[in-house]
Amino acid sequence: MQNTNLKIRPIYKTVALGALLALVGCKRNVEHKNVVIFVDEDKCKTSIYIHDIKTGADRVYRDYCETENMYRYLVAGDTVSVRTGKKEEFYDTRKVLNKRRVDFVCNDDSLRARQGRATNKMLNQRFAKQR
């Protein structure tokens, strides 16, 4: 036998509505589209010069080298996204960005393909010298 007179307490309705708004209603990351102008690689850091599509501002993104730094395979003309947190004014006021404050997102598939071609080219040159 089913109970058709089921009533949900108002506090549970409020909690469910609050959880739903927290998950759906808040936009945490703001995404800015940029185009890569130039990539400069030093001993310990990689500097990526980017051009903001919307505002036309030029910025520099600095990333300190790790064991597998894929950013060196970016070329001029690649489209990247810079994601900021809730405070968008940091992106608007800064000309130099780092990975502590923003997330730098690019297409990993194209970077992996370029890395593979560079590795194959290096191995072909090495084996050509051994013959």
Are 49 and 38 within 8 A, CB to CB? Answer: yes
Tell me what pLDDT residue 1 has. 56
Tell me what pLDDT residue 75 has. 86
Are 104 and 85 within 8 A, CB to CB? Answer: no
The pTM assigned to this predicted structure is 0.67
Is the sign of the CA dihedral 41, 110, 68, 119 positive or negative? negative
Closest-CA residue to 70 (of 108, 96, 35, 43): 108
Are 85 and 28 within 8 A, CB to CB? Answer: yes
Does 121 have pLDDT greater than 80?
yes
The CA-atom distances, in angstroms, between 116 and each of 28, 43, 50, 89 are 35, 22, 24, 38
For the chain, give every domain's residue range: 30-119
> Domain spanning 30-119 has what CATH number?
2.40.50
Give the tens place of pLDDT for each residue, 27-51.
Answer: 567 788 899 998 888 877 888 899 9
